[in-house]
């Protein structure tokens, strides 16, 4: 029996699951909503007609099974579980209980040892699924469709896979009749997507007939997953053998100079709020041609401060790209404003200036552009559009230290700009951030916000925070700033070599470089035309750290319910792959990375159909086309 505590915990877990499912789905629903109706006409009628024919035998069979369960193991007869339904809406799925009571209670993938004798029989014939006819009657499920999944599985779908939620989940489906248990997880989803795209009465009747045959022939167990395939795939990934020496995605360029600088600060006795911060602010601002610099303990705190300094808060909207690290969006949410997600330019992955007209509202206060991988987007257009509409332009330049647009350093194009100094950045202080601004008042407000709103000792004039950077970090930052040009030169050289090499690999598109901008290559992100996940797996197995930067922010569980539809972002997200690109890569390592990418791509091309077949290249804003295999202009 559940104790009060357990029951409460169970309830919380259940509602969390529901909530997650609901949020994921509302986003996915809107993300995938197209012109096509979700179901063919007459599908519900077909369900009800077949149900009425099957009602009497199903009731009789159900009663016999219920009696058998009661006699062999007592109550409960039914097992209920929250699943993600159409559009991800949660519903309670019914099954006949096949496990011992304790095992089945909340366990989606219970131990096989917990299956009861009668349960084994029911599963063999798939009769345990019979009570889902109630779900069909209630309109939560259909007879044919993708099998309903658990909420957490939905959260892991990529944007394309989310399309399987467009229809009601099914008691059986195309994947079932193709031997579901013998397929990989992604293959099953592919069959589901095929069903969603090709549904018809004929197809449903064929699947139902085939299912009946499968069940009667005793192969029904194939329809019943006894393990968590997603978790297993994750396990496989995390158990990718470590091959030494491993080539890291990023590697801070830290040496004796930084160690010596920290030693000096530690012996000076001033560990915070001292001369190192003041000097770092001045030097960083000078390097970027800005009037003022204000340090912060993190880039995320700096972003929030930037918004607060502009008095952006509840009721305001800020337009941001979704192709970013989530904190661009969460910092807007933290100050009580609403992030409005915009689509991107498919070449640079930066905010598409054309999106502003689509998304602007009476509440829009600012546009926060993100310089993806450090490369600025079309800043001329952005500035003009913002000026025309009376919007503030802010820069999330987290990745862009040292980048330039038309020969002018980034960080000076908007009212203010944030830089981050985490270890993957070209300039690192471990953790840290800095805001550049040309406006004296803004700089003053930023300083107050950073330090408890303290104008003079113990005189607090606004509700501030402790967002200070330590003196040790500022000292490291100063040394790093002196090295920045050398770091950037090496990275640009490495990136140029890599792009030349990868331009000869069919199926890979090296990063695009705007002709009038210079990228600091904080990331080196390619597009993989086919089977991106297989390419990623291969690289990891070869000891080369690769990553997907970034799963879009608008599809994160915290934002999925906001209804953003960003086809370019979602298409890019399904194909992008960042490979190592740091200043300490040797020629030998560069060659190993390129060889491994080439091999991974050719293996992936020979592999079974991709889980992310690539959409036709999209037209870029201004009529340009996304480059395919040709090397982009640099």
Ligand X SMILES: Cc1ncc(COP(=O)(O)O)c(C=O)c1O
For 163-278, list the strands marked E by DSSP: 170-172
Is 351 one of the binding residues for ligand X (CB under 6 A)? no
Near ligand X by CB under 6 A, which window of 56-64, 310-318, 320-328, 340-348?
A: 320-328
Near ligand X by CB under 6 A, which window of 198-206, 391-399, 525-533, 535-543?
A: 391-399
Is 422 one of the binding residues for ligand X (CB under 6 A)? yes
What is the C-alpha to C-alpha distance for residues 92 and 342, in angstroms, rounded to an integer? 35
Residues belonging to the chain = 634
Closest residue to ligand X, based on beta-carbon distance: 299
Nearer to ligand X, 172 or 426 (CB): 426
Nearer to ligand X, 473 or 610 (CB): 473
Near ligand X by CB under 6 A, which window of 137-145, 151-159, 396-404, 601-609?
A: 396-404
For the record, the structure tokens of 609 come out as 């159909």
Site for ligand X, residues 423 to 442, rule: CB under 6 A: 433
Is 569 one of the binding residues for ligand X (CB under 6 A)? no
Contact (CB, 8 A) for 62 and 191: no
For the record, the structure tokens of 585 come out as 């890569």
Q: Which of 25, 149, 324, 569 binds ligand X (CB under 6 A)?
A: 324
Site for ligand X, residues 181 to 220, rule: CB under 6 A: none
Site for ligand X, residues 2 to 21, rule: CB under 6 A: none
Nearest approach, Cβ of residue 397 and ligand X (Å): 8
Nearer to ligand X, 2 or 558 (CB): 558
Near ligand X by CB under 6 A, which window of 164-172, 298-306, 565-573, 623-631?
A: 298-306
Q: Which of 327, 429, 556, 569 binds ligand X (CB under 6 A)?
A: 327
Nearer to ligand X, 133 or 427 (CB): 427
Q: Which helix (H) or strand (E) holds 534?
A: helix 532-541
Is 399 one of the binding residues for ligand X (CB under 6 A)? yes
Near ligand X by CB under 6 A, which window of 307-315, 356-364, 395-403, 528-536?
A: 395-403
CA angle 391, 394, 397 (to 5 degrees): 155
Q: Which of 171, 247, 335, 370 binds ligand X (CB under 6 A)?
A: 370
Near ligand X by CB under 6 A, which window of 73-81, 297-305, 310-318, 334-342?
A: 297-305
Near ligand X by CB under 6 A, which window of 250-258, 325-333, 342-350, 445-453?
A: 325-333
* Listed residue (399, 589, 372) closest to 494, CA to CA: 589
Contact (CB, 8 A) for 485 and 368: no
Site for ligand X, residues 105 to 124, rule: CB under 6 A: none
Burial of 340 (0-12, 13-18, 19+ CB in 10 A): buried
Is 626 one of the binding residues for ligand X (CB under 6 A)? no
Site of tokens 């789905």:
25
Q: Which DSSP state fits 523?
A: S
Is 300 one of the binding residues for ligand X (CB under 6 A)? yes
Nearest approach, Cβ of residue 328 and ligand X (Å): 5
**Could you please report the per-residue DSSP string of 375-436?**
----HHHHHHHHHHHT-EEEEE-TT-TT-EETTEETTSSSSEEEEE-STTSSS--SS-EEEE
First-last CA distance in the chain: 68
Number of residues that bind ligand X (CB under 6 A): 14
Contact (CB, 8 A) for 368 and 408: no
Nearest approach, Cβ of residue 318 and ligand X (Å): 13
Backbone angles phi, psi at 515, to 5 degrees: -65, -30
Is 350 one of the binding residues for ligand X (CB under 6 A)? no
Burial of 92 (0-12, 13-18, 19+ CB in 10 A): middle
Is 25 one of the binding residues for ligand X (CB under 6 A)? no
Task: Provide the 10 A C-beta neighbour count for residue 380.
Answer: 13
Is 409 one of the binding residues for ligand X (CB under 6 A)? no
Is 174 one of the binding residues for ligand X (CB under 6 A)? no
* Listed residue (88, 191, 192, 98) closest to 140, CA to CA: 88
Nearer to ligand X, 24 or 332 (CB): 332
Half-sphere exposure of residue 47: CA atoms within 13 angstroms, side-chain side: 25
What is the C-alpha to C-alpha distance for residues 566 and 371, in angstroms, rounded to an integer? 18
Nearer to ligand X, 425 or 445 (CB): 425
Backbone angles phi, psi at 347, to 5 degrees: -90, -50
Nearer to ligand X, 302 or 475 (CB): 302
The bridge status of strand 364-370 relative to strand 392-396 is: parallel
Nearest approach, Cβ of residue 579 and ligand X (Å): 17
Is 325 one of the binding residues for ligand X (CB under 6 A)? yes
Near ligand X by CB under 6 A, which window of 319-327, 380-388, 604-612, 617-625?
A: 319-327
Is 252 one of the binding residues for ligand X (CB under 6 A)? no
List interacting residues with ligand X (CB under 6 A): 298-300, 324-325, 327-328, 370, 396, 398-399, 420, 422, 433
């Amino acid at each position: 029996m559940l104790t009060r505590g357990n029951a409460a915990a169970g309830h919380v877990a259940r509602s969390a699951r529901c909530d997650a499912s609901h949020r994921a789905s509302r986003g996915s629903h809107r993300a995938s909503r197209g012109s096509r109706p979700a179901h063919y006409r007459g599908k519900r009628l077909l369900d009800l007609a077949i149900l009425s024919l099957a009602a009497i035998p199903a009731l009789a069979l159900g009663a016999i099974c219920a009696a058998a369960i009661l006699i062999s193991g007592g109550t409960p007869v039914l097992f209920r579980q929250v699943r993600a339904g159409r559009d991800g809406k949660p519903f309670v799925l019914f099954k006949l209980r096949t496990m011992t009571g304790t095992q089945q209670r909340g366990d989606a993938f219970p131990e096989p040892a917990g299956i009861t004798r009668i349960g084994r029989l029911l599963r063999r014939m798939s009769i345990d699924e019979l009570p889902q006819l109630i779900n069909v009657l209630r309109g939560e499920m259909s007879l044919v469709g993708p099998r309903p999944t658990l909420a957490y599985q939905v959260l892991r779908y990529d944007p394309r896979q989310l399309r399987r939620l467009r229809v009601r989940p099914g008691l059986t489906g195309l994947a079932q009749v193709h031997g579901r248990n013998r397929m990989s997880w992604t293959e099953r989803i592919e069959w589901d997507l095929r069903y969603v795209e090709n549904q018809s009465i004929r197809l449903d009747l064929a699947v139902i007939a085939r299912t009946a045959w499968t069940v009667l022939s005793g192969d029904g167990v194939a329809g019943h997953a006894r393990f968590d395939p997603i978790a297993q795939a994750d396990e496989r990934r995390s158990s990718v053998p470590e091959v030494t020496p491993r080539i890291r995605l990023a590697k801070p360029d830290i040496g004796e100079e930084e160690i010596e600088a920290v030693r000096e600060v530690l012996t000076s006795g001033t560990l915070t709020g001292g001369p190192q911060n003041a000097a770092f602010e001045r030097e960083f601002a000078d390097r970027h041609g800005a009037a003022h610099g204000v340090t912060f303990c993190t880039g995320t705190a700096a972003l929030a401060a930037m918004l607060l300094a502009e008095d952006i808060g509840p009721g305001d909207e800020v337009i941001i790209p979704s192709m970013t690290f989530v904190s661009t969006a969460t910092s807007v949410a933290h100050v009580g404003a609403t992030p409005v997600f915009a689509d991107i330019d498919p070449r640079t992955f930066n905010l598409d200036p054309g999106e502003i007209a689509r998304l602007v509202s009476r509440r829009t206060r600012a546009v926060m552009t993100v310089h993806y991988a450090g490369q600025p987007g079309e800043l001329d257009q952005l500035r003009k559009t913002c000026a025309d509409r009376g919007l503030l332009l802010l820069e999330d330049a987290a990745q862009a230290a040292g980048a330039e647009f038309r020969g002018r350093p980034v960080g000076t194009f908007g009212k203010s700009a944030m830089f981050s100094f985490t270890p993957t950045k070209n300039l690192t202080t471990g953790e840290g951030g800095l805001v550049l601004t040309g406006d004296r008042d803004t700089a003053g407000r930023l300083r107050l916000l950073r330090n408890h709103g303290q104008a003079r000792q113990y005189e607090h004039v606004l509700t501030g925070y402790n967002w200070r950077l330590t003196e040790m970090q500022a000292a490291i930052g100063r040394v790093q700033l002196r090295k920045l040009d050398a770091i950037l030169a090496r990275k640009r050289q490495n990136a140029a070599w890599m792009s030349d090499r990868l331009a000869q690999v069919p199926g890979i598109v090296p990063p695009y470089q705007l002709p009038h901008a210079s990228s600091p290559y904080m990331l080196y992100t390619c597009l993989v035309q086919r089977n991106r996940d297989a390419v990623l797996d291969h690289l990891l197995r070869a000891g080369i750290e690769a990553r997907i930067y970034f799963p879009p922010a608008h599809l994160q569980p915290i934002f999925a319910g906001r209804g953003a539809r960003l086809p370019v972002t979602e298409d890019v997200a399904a194909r992008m792959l960042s490979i190592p690109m740091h200043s300490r890569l040797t020629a030998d390592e560069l060659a190993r990375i390129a060889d491994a990418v080439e091999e991974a791509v050719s293996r992936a091309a020979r592999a079974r159909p991709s889980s992310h077949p690539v959409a036709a290249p999209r037209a870029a804003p201004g009529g340009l086309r996304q480059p395919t295999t040709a090397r982009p202009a640099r």
